[in-house]
Structure 1
Amino acid sequence: MRNIKLISANCCGEVGDVIIEGVEPPPGKTLLEQSYFLKKNKKLWEFILNEPRGGVFKHVNLLVPPKNPKADMGFIIMEPMDLPPMSGSNSICVATVLLEKNIIPIKNSNMKITLEAPGGLIEVEAECENQKVKKVSITNLPSFVVDLDKNISVPGLGDLTVSTAYGGDSFVLVNNSDINIEIKPENADKIVDICSKITKSASEQLGFKHPQLDNLNYISFCMLMDKPFINSLDNLEGKNTVCIRPKKLDRSPCGTGSSARLAYMYKKNQIKIQQLFESKSILGTSFECYIKEEIAISNIKAIVPVLTGQAWITGEQTLYLDENNPFPQGYRLTDTWPSI
């Protein structure tokens, strides 16, 4: 019998557990290749994410040695249906686990480390006190709009104007003024039904193409956005929620989604470089976000987003790999694991 040790963590309510022992790095010359291997091989991914060890609500990160010499640690994100290039909430969970569990010792109150995600390098700055991480700021991957204000037809909803963007993964962005549903926990089931239809329709009618990630040729997520406003602190604020495949809502404000939204807002002249934006989740948790700078990616105008949030370690878990277990890769039932 072999053991896998996980640290249970969440960022702003979104689960982002971290495997710290018991799994050898997968084959691959890059983290992206390693991620592709895990998705194709399925064994670890399904063992960890499927019932009875996991569930559709769960994300798990595998720590691996970095390939880039500039990085302190690499991590591969495993989500219910995808292994994305990047995740904001998961990277904050990973940074918190690395520091609080002394994998990377906390040496001062302002720790700066570099993480390598499958999509690239992530600069991390963690504010620490009494060997605890109080908040984490990440400089995310360059983010950009692919299609702006395009019309699609959605079954049951009719014609909608949407945009697509990359913020570390692929998104279709929808203004809630066109849907008119309050973003609150009681409406989560209705929101995932609506957003999953939009994701499917946008993928079929618009498609998606990343200039550097050939395998990212589909839309992963749908972000439903309330109109931004100036809050009592004189900062720009906006509520949003993200539908993750197969059908669940991100409990956090979604770091990659917030990055995609920043790119969209910048394109629409709704935000300036260095202007603070408070991205609010369906639970009322928030990321403080801003655009660090504008850059070009393969002749595409992009922005560099910075996000700040907090993660909490909630426990530890040891999973047993037992050859006699009747469900070595787990199972999925449609009562809790929706079909798409």
Structure 2
Amino acid sequence: MVIGMEETLIGQTMAERRLYLRENFQALCAPIVNEPRGNDIIVGAWMCTPVDPSCFAGVVFFNNVGVLQMCGHATIGVIATLAWQGGLPPGIHRLETPVGIIEVELHSDGKTVSFENVASERYRSAVRVEVPVSPSLENSFVTGDIAYGGNWFYLVDDHGLELELNNVSQLMATTLSIKAALIEQGITGENGDEIDHVELVGPSKKADAKNFVLCPGNAYDRSPCGTGTSAKVACLAAAGKLKAGETFRQESITGSCFEATYRINDSGAVIPKLTGSAEVIAETTLLFERK
């Protein structure tokens, strides 16, 4: 979480500030999160002043390859970090992101966070993708849903793979092949938006489902993925498999879990609510040599 630079992002909207970060500070994004300071799976959160005065803060998320639209697990991390710093009391607060304002609830333990994500949807169902170059798959194709949960996802259930940590190499190879096939076959989200996440879903022994998520930058998510869980909830809702108010628990490839429910807003959209926890593990000053 980048703090102390809240005034550096310029723009009349958070979407404009996201573009400003990409155009003016992109060169810093990868060095902040990558080795030797971190690793390629870390998501950064560049804090800024909010545009909307009803919000306590604004944030633009980024990773090792650029800026993001939204990030669920990073939202949980931001709120838990602000609580640890003493700047945010338990209760309900409003956080402004490039995709809209989200309501977050900090629980009394200072580590557990619930938040309502942006409106999520299943855009297309049962989309077949030919994947001839993946020897890991039972067939030379997969069928999945295209869904939005703050980022665009292609969600696959019929992969036939074991979602276990000792199988990460095979899971990475498979999801990379699927991602390449999506690009080659011109399969996109709404309005041609890039599907930059691939989510494999399977059974779990301690939750309702377990996932493996390939993220932009070609690293895999260690969390159950907040936007990915939101996308899954939207798919379950569209299929009539999860009713509003019912709880869906999703386990990550590392064993952590998110709880999710949803409501239907006045426009008929699915509004997921996720609950997870985070702990602060370091407070550091990053040094960069100007060359």
- With normalisation by structure 2, the TM-score equals 0.91
- Output the CA distance in 2 between the equivalents of 1:70 and 1:148: 37
What displacement does 1:22 show? 4.5
- Output the CA distance in 2 between the equivalents of 1:23 and 1:306: 27
Q: Quote the residue 1:6 is aligned against.
A: none
Q: Counterpart of 2:113 in structure 1: which amino acid? A: V
- Output the CA distance in 2 between the equivalents of 1:30 and 1:257: 25
After TM superposition, the structure 1 = structure 2 runs for residues 24-103 of structure 1, keeping only pairs within 5 Å, are: 24-41=7-24, 42-103=26-87
Give the SS at the match of 1:96. Answer: helix
Q: Is the 8 A contact 2:214 2:220 kept in 1?
A: yes
Q: Quote the residue 1:184 is aligned against.
A: 164
**1:201 counterpart (181, 206, 216):** 181
| Pair 1:252 & 2:252 matched | no
- Output the CA distance in 2 between the equivalents of 1:33 and 1:154: 37
Q: Quote the residue 1:117 is aligned against.
A: 97
Q: Counterpart of 2:43 in structure 1: which amino acid? A: H
Q: Is the 8 A contact 1:141 1:168 kept in 2?
A: yes
Q: Is the 8 A contact 1:38 1:45 kept in 2?
A: no
What displacement does 1:50 show? 3.7
Q: Quote the residue 1:273 is aligned against.
A: 244
Q: Quote the residue 1:316 is aligned against.
A: 283
- Output the CA distance in 2 between the equivalents of 1:203 and 1:290: 32
In structure 2, the CA distance between the partners of 1:196 and 1:66, relative to structure 1 (3 Å rule), is same
- Output the CA distance in 2 between the equivalents of 1:115 and 1:272: 27
Q: Is the 8 A contact 2:30 2:66 kept in 1?
A: no
Q: Quote the residue 1:220 is aligned against.
A: 196
Per-residue CA distance 1:267-326 (angstroms, 9 max, x = gap)? 111111111011111111101101122554xxxx630000000000001110123325xx
- Output the CA distance in 2 between the equivalents of 1:40 and 1:22: 16
In structure 2, the CA distance between the partners of 1:254 and 1:40, relative to structure 1 (3 Å rule), is same
**1:164 counterpart (146, 153, 160):** 146
| Pair 1:262 & 2:245 matched | no
Q: Is the 8 A contact 1:207 1:217 kept in 2?
A: no
- With normalisation by structure 1, the TM-score equals 0.78
- Output the CA distance in 2 between the equivalents of 1:197 and 1:124: 36
Aligned residues: 285
In structure 2, the CA distance between the partners of 1:303 and 1:44, relative to structure 1 (3 Å rule), is same
| Pair 1:303 & 2:285 matched | no
Q: Is the 8 A contact 2:200 2:211 kept in 1?
A: yes
Give the SS at the match of 1:138. Answer: strand
- Output the CA distance in 2 between the equivalents of 1:84 and 1:245: 9
In structure 2, the CA distance between the partners of 1:74 and 1:59, relative to structure 1 (3 Å rule), is same
- Output the CA distance in 2 between the equivalents of 1:318 and 1:228: 39
Q: Quote the residue 2:213 is aligned against.
A: 242
Q: Is the 8 A contact 2:34 2:42 kept in 1?
A: no
Higher share in strand: 1
Sequence identity (%) = 29
Q: Is the 8 A contact 2:43 2:61 kept in 1?
A: yes
In structure 2, the CA distance between the partners of 1:303 and 1:206, relative to structure 1 (3 Å rule), is farther
| Pair 1:288 & 2:270 matched | no
Higher relative contact order (CA 8 A, sep 6+): 1
Per-residue CA distance 1:141-194 (angstroms, 9 max, x = gap)? 00001111111111324122121110010100101xx22211111111211111
What displacement does 1:262 show? 0.4
Per-residue CA distance 1:13-44 (angstroms, 9 max, x = gap)? xxxxx112246422222121121222233222
- Output the CA distance in 2 between the equivalents of 1:98 and 1:134: 10
Q: Is the 8 A contact 1:295 1:303 kept in 2?
A: no
Q: Quote the residue 2:125 is aligned against.
A: 148
- Output the CA distance in 2 between the equivalents of 1:197 and 1:81: 19
- Output the CA distance in 2 between the equivalents of 1:99 and 1:156: 47
Task: Specify every segment of 5 or more residues in structure 1 that has no aligned partner in the other structure, as ranges.
Answer: 1-17, 325-340
Per-residue CA distance 1:47-99 (angstroms, 9 max, x = gap)? 31344333312211111001112211111111122422111100000111112
- Output the CA distance in 1 between the equivalents of 2:125 and 2:241: 14
Q: Quote the residue 1:19 is aligned against.
A: 2
